[in-house]
Structure 1
């Protein structure tokens, strides 16, 4: 029988669980022995090495491309190609994207276990698609400056590809492009100012993130082609929402940095209260519904909000020695609280 490879920490947890079940009479000694022999501590983490290697490979591809522009010989070659029609480059990028997507899809179908290499090929296809859309925009540009439509086109293209190729990575790019389209579209309609319908960027993205999170929670599972991307949409929607709320708690609904710098932070304390309340709400929801994503986002951003307020209100108003002493006491309290929780769980296991 093939043994399950697990980490040393997981092995200790499983050993404790099997011993507890045996002591409580839930399993006999023979079953406990068989269970104990069904797993072993894994050796070197080759999966993580593969993941990092492919990330480094993609980074090196990008660096290699950027380094071309630092080479004099290459720069002279680029100048000679400067007159190459945009149409030719656009078609070349399209063909390149099709090649990478086809290659990645074929590998995914024939070798589904090669997760990282397959996703790396999809990522190269995404970059080629972005270049194709960019040059397509140059070809059809009429001087209107409404280039946010290109990002909308990328959302549609990536969305279709993510469904057809069943790629979570491309779905991430779909939602990232969706956020960029939202930012540029609202900026275009506000004449490239920082306010749209009286809202600055953090407030706009607070609403955007809330809608995306609500869509992932309540509606996405009803749409069959994208239902399996629900958790990913939920994660990205919460990221948009919580980061935007945190920035809103710092900058308020100000779009002029000079005006914001003249305002005392307690004048915009209500945004901090909103951010803290939403963090508490997600932490409570996650604990009640056993939703790990909501719980962790809620707790992490609750701590971030508390310490942000701590720095905002006390940094300029309290002696530095007292400030850092209060900071030390707060972290000591958190450590004691975490230690009590850990001891309590350890006692229950014992």
Structure 2
């Protein structure tokens, strides 16, 4: 479990979460929990973290100013020459960023992550510049293809170097390529749009299944250096799966989608109790509460007593929680 001269960050985070869960469940007492937490806590202080964050910001500003200066000098240059320059800068930043992110002893992992982020953004821009500079035609599919290639590059960097930050960026780009769009609508406003909620819900559920298999099988066998990667797949999948079902319960709406969204929330709570996984429980509780809140204002606000409605919801919550706890205790015994 050693990586870069120290304990792998993903393993450290998972053990810290397990210690907190053991303390909450009464498996360990306060003294033992404190000693275990100290063992797996991040040893870095707030001051060191601030220095690293400032260093990362400085790298971004220096890179932006350097590229701006180069852009001024190359205003009369051809798009192909500019594309080659941007791709070269992306390669150099990626090479340096990977080296810094892998060498934890130097304490510049945040700076390495910033450089990797810059490299991916520059690679995306350089690929588009090169395509159009070589006479390629327009069309909405070209930026999406460049986004997919950038996502694949991020995933390749993440898995080949056991780095979680490129995986985070790669998954974000992958879901955006699959159908999530965003844009600026003026006056400081932005919008987020999912092109096909049904397909995206399936994609999210697929990512959840892959994340579970990644953790339970892959990270125990041939992906031991990638501990924590399955967590990111699972969390991103749960976000998009629940978000899409919520949208579908509103538009087009209808009893079927409302029941599907509610059943998914309850199923996640039950799965969390069965698997002893707080991630499923947390997402299930949050989105089930969103479901109740949405239905309250959508259908019952003017028809049902708010006090009685909340009382029923509270009793249902206690009942479901008690059943899950009892089932979990039965499995433990």
Q: Name the TM-score, length of structure 2 as normaliser.
A: 0.65
The residue that corresponds to 1:236 in the other structure is 236
Does structure 1 residue 130 correspond to structure 2 residue 124? Answer: yes
Pairwise CA distance, 1:108 = 3.2
Q: Distance in 2 between matches of 1:59 and 1:331?
A: 46
Question: Does the aligned pair in 2 maintain the 1:50–1:116 contact within 8 Å?
Answer: no
- 1:90 and 2:86 aligned: no
Higher relative contact order (CA 8 A, sep 6+): 2
Q: Distance in 1 between matches of 2:28 and 2:240?
A: 42
TM-score, structure 1 normalization:
0.62
Runs of 4+ in 1 over 6 A off after TM superposition: 16-20, 35-41, 59-68, 77-80, 330-337
Shift of 1:134: 3.0
Contact 2:59 2:111 (C-alpha < 8 Å) held by counterparts? no
Specify the alignment match of 2:285 in structure 1: 299
- Residue of structure 2 equivalent to 1:24: none
Structure 1 residues 158, 290: CA separation in 2 closer, same or farther (over 3 Å shift)? same
Once the two structures are TM-superposed, the CA of residue 288 in structure 1 deviates from its matched residue by: 0.7
Alpha-carbon distance between aligned partners in 1 of 2:313 and 2:63, rounded to the nearest angstrom = 45
Counterpart secondary structure, 1:102: helix
Deviation at 1:153, TM superposition (A): 1.4
Q: CA deviation at 1:331?
A: 8.6
Q: 1:209 aligns with which of 204, 216, 223?
A: 204
CA distance in 2, matches of 1:213, 1:51: 31
* 1:218 lines up with 2:219 in the alignment: no
User: Match for residue 255 of structure 1?
Assistant: none
- What's the CA shift string for 1:210-245, capped at 9, x where partnerless? 122222223684594696422211111111111111
Give the secondary structure class of the aligned counterpart of 1:84.
Answer: coil
Matched, 1:162 2:158: yes
Q: 2:92 aligns with which of 99, 105, 112?
A: 99
Counterpart of 1:180?
A: 176
After TM superposition, give the deviation of residue 298 of structure 1 in Å.
Answer: 1.4
- Aligned residue for 1:188? none
Aligned length: 282
Query: Whole-Å Cα distance in 2 between the matches of residues 309 and 232 of structure 1?
Result: 30
Counterpart CA distance in 1 for 2:313 and 2:35 is 41
Give the Cα separation in 2 of the matches to 1:249 and 1:130: 35
Structure of larger gyration radius: 1
Contact 2:159 2:226 in 1 (8 A): no
Aligned-residue Cα RMSD (Å) equals 4.7
Is there any run of 5+ residues in structure 1 with no aligned partner, and where? 1-5, 21-31, 69-73, 186-198, 253-264, 341-350
How far 1:137 moved relative to its partner? 3.7
Counterparts of 1:48-63 in structure 2, within 5 Å, are 51=49
Structure 2, unaligned runs of 5 or more: 1-15, 182-193, 323-333
Distance (Å, rounded) in 1 between the aligned partners of 2:256 and 2:287: 16
